[in-house]
Amino acid sequence: VPAGVGEKGKLRVTDAQLDQVMVQGVGWAVSNGYGVPGDWQATEDHGCLIGADPTGLSDRARKRARPQLGTLGSGNHFIEIQVVDTIYDPAAAGRLGITEPGQVTVMIHTGSRGFGHQVCDDALDVMQRAVRKYDIELPDKQLACAPVTSPEGQRYFGHMACAANYAWVNRQMITHWVREAFERVFKQGTEKLGLELVGDVAHNIAKFEEHPVNGQTKRLCVHRKGATRAFGPGHPLVQEQYRDLGQPVLIPG
């Protein structure tokens, strides 16, 4: 798996394929042989944020996106081979496929790479103008924004969703190549090795969700920055296989 600042991946995609990645998310990866149906089912929102619209993405954003699909990046991004030390809730852990101390797992942390960074950069000037246009008072100019229902807000959400879906595909492709590496080393197939995906969750993302507010259910745009979902048992947005358990929150340690 390619890693490092500006590192390019093993896969080259056309502009048409890139649009499919940005709109379809993990479904594109699985249908093109970079995963199995169980991956799609274990991923938050099935690895596809609805509302992605690549219309109007800058040439610079596309140029950064094409070569970096399937790469780790740098900073705090990592691929880590881990060993289970202690199990505190055997029943819940068993639902996640964690069954005994000494079990080997792999954790992957990466996102939308330079593409997502460029989407943000491209939006900053637009948002700064929107602050003046809509007479928004800010405690800090770095909090530049636009009303989510405005043309500027809607356009940015469409581009951010493209980056979110790209990130899900990026992690899915890395997952596929990690499996291939284990298969080569241990001379066994993925199923025999037990390399099923426990889950994939986003932690820098905005989503439209329904939540109770003052006794009424309202549709809100929820922005999670450095935070994952933590819905309890029975919540309809939790992956089907974990719905009675509640949202698994994966924390590097």
Q: Please tell me the predicted confidence (pLDDT) of residue 227.
A: 93
CA–CA distance, 134 with 136 (Å, rounded to integer)? 6
Q: Is residue 45 part of a domain?
A: yes
Query: 3-class SS at 12?
Result: coil
Average pLDDT over residues 223-230: 93
The answer to the question of residue 142 being in a domain is: yes
Q: Residue 156: which CATH number? A: 3.90.1860.10
pTM of the model: 0.93
Which pLDDT band, with edges at 50, 70 and 90, does 252 fall under?
Answer: confident
Domain range holding 31? 15-201
The token pair that represents 65 in the structure block: 């996106």
Mean pLDDT estimate for the chain: 94
Phi/psi at 177 (5° precision): -75, -30
Mean pLDDT of 120-143: 95
Residue 240 lies in a domain: no
Q: With 70 as the cut, is the pLDDT of residue 3 above it? A: no
Q: In terms of pLDDT, which residue wins out, 141 or 102?
A: 102
Q: Residue 121: its pLDDT value, please?
A: 95
Tell me what pLDDT residue 8 has: 63
User: pLDDT, tens digit, for every residue of 68-120?
Assistant: 999 998 888 999 999 999 999 999 999 999 999 999 999 999 999 999 999 99
Helix (H, G, I), strand (E, B) or coil at 221: strand
Task: Say if 206 falls within a structural domain.
Answer: no
| pLDDT for residue 141 | 86
Work out the average pLDDT over 15-26. 97
What's the pLDDT score for residue 14? 92
Listed range (6-10, 26-30, 54-58) with the worst mean pLDDT:
6-10
User: Does residue 46 carry a pLDDT above 80?
Assistant: yes
The reply to whether 241 falls in a domain is: no
Give domain status of residue 247, yes or no.
Answer: no
Residue 172 covered by a domain: yes
Bridge partners, 200 (sequence order) = 43
Please give the pLDDT value at position 6: 58
The reply to whether 219 falls in a domain is: no
- For 123-137, letters b (16+ CB in 10 Å) and e give beebbeebbeeeeee
What total number of domains does the chain contain? 1
CA separation for the pair 91, 76 (Å, rounded): 32
